[in-house]
């Protein structure tokens, strides 16, 4: 049986998604590190195996890559959500508040944890308690 072709976002798609997010939620237009950062992100995603793992890498790297001056987390979520949809996978978590909280704390989660959250809705140990543990 032939392999199903995987859809990957393009630079144009990421930029357009960012524009939509700014119109919808507000924010400052413009680039921080620039769209060229996406080239490295996409290379890493393409080397990764498994659709949810690819999505986890995409989400974390877009959210933390500082491509844009503003709206990186929202853009990362929308691009990743679309990536999963167009590749016939779904994101388990649908609650907007839970999604926002997770994305805002994404630095506290590793790729395995992000993959599990996308695939099964399993929330890793709360980021707040992790940061408290570091100071104990």
Q: Domains, the chain, ranges and CATH?
A: 11-134 (1.20.120.1870)
103-108 mean pLDDT: 95
Query: Who has greater pLDDT, 125 or 70?
Result: 70
Reported for 54-57, long-range contacts at CB under 8 A and 24+ positions apart, including other chains, are 54/6, 54/83, 55/80, 55/83, 55/84, 55/89, 55/115, 55/118, 56/111, 56/112, 56/114, 56/115, 56/118, 57/111
Q: How far is CA 66 from CA 13, 19, 29, 59, 71, in A?
A: 17, 15, 13, 12, 9
CA distance 73 to 56: 13
User: What's the pLDDT tens digit per position in 40-89?
Assistant: 999 999 999 999 999 999 999 999 999 999 999 999 999 999 999 999 99
- pTM of the predicted protein model: 0.89
> What confidence score (pLDDT) does residue 22 get?
97
CA atoms of 70 and 132, how far apart (whole Å) = 28
pLDDT for 15 beyond 50: yes
- Cα–Cα distance between 129 and 136 in angstroms, integer? 11
Q: Compute φ and ψ for 28, nearest 5 degrees.
A: -100, 125
């Amino acid at each position: 049986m032939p392999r199903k072709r995987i859809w990957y976002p393009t630079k144009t798609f990421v930029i357009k998604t960012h524009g939509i997010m700014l119109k919808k939620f507000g924010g400052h237009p413009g680039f921080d590190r620039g769209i060229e950062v996406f080239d490295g992100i996409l290379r890493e995603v393409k080397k990764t195996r498994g659709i949810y793992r690819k999505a986890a890498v995409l989400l974390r790297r877009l959210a933390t890559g500082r491509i844009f001056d503003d709206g990186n987390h929202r853009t990362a979520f929308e691009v990743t959500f679309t990536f999963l949809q167009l590749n016939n996978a779904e994101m388990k978590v649908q609650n907007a508040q839970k999604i926002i909280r997770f994305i805002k704390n994404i630095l506290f989660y590793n790729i395995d944890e992000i993959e599990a959250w996308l695939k099964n809705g399993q929330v890793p140990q709360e980021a707040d308690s992790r940061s408290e543990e570091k100071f104990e």
